[in-house]
Amino acid sequence: MGELGDKLIEIFPPKQREVWMIEDKEIRLNPNNREDKYRRPALVVSAKELLDNKDFPLINIIPLSRQGKPDKLSFPVARGYEECADDFKPDSNSLAVLPYYQPIEKKFFKQRCGTIDETTYNAIVNVLCSEVVGCDDFDLNVE
């Protein structure tokens, strides 16, 4: 991204519920295909404390995809957009692919694409915690 982009990320860091374009070949949604996309939108799901820590280099994301059908671990997000950047149009088949939840270094965050509404975000985090992480008891209302 360059020096200017790195400074912008410091000034305007990613926040929960935001969708960002990520450039990282390590985000693979098909384990058999090493030639997956290089750029992919992803939903930021890191805890606020981690996002506020300027020394912590990682941000937890859930990659978005247009492939597949909604199911227990592929959550539809197209209707959940509150806002979108002028040059980003969410696909009506867009899914948050929860099994690929992962940390990504801040340096791979390239462009803010928009924001997911709180209801959709909370539903995604609920499924992530219960079905992917395996946490049975949590409260989304904790400050």
pLDDT per position as a tens digit, 16-57: 999 999 886 666 665 555 555 678 899 999 988 888 888 888
Query: Residue 130: which region, alpha, beta or left (left: phi > 0; alpha: psi -120 to 50)?
Result: alpha
Tell me what pLDDT residue 2 has: 56
pLDDT per position as a tens digit, 115-138: 999 999 999 999 998 888 877 665
Tell me what pLDDT residue 88 has: 84
Please choose, from the candidates 40, 38, 34, the residue with its C-alpha nearest in 3D space to the C-alpha of residue 94: 40
What is d(CA 23, CA 39) in angstroms, rounded to the nearest whole number? 5
What is d(CA 127, CA 2) in angstroms, rounded to the nearest whole number? 36
| Topology classification of domain 2-133 | SH3 type barrels. (2.30.30)
**Domain coordinates of the chain in residue numbers?**
2-133
Mean pLDDT over all residues of the chain? 83
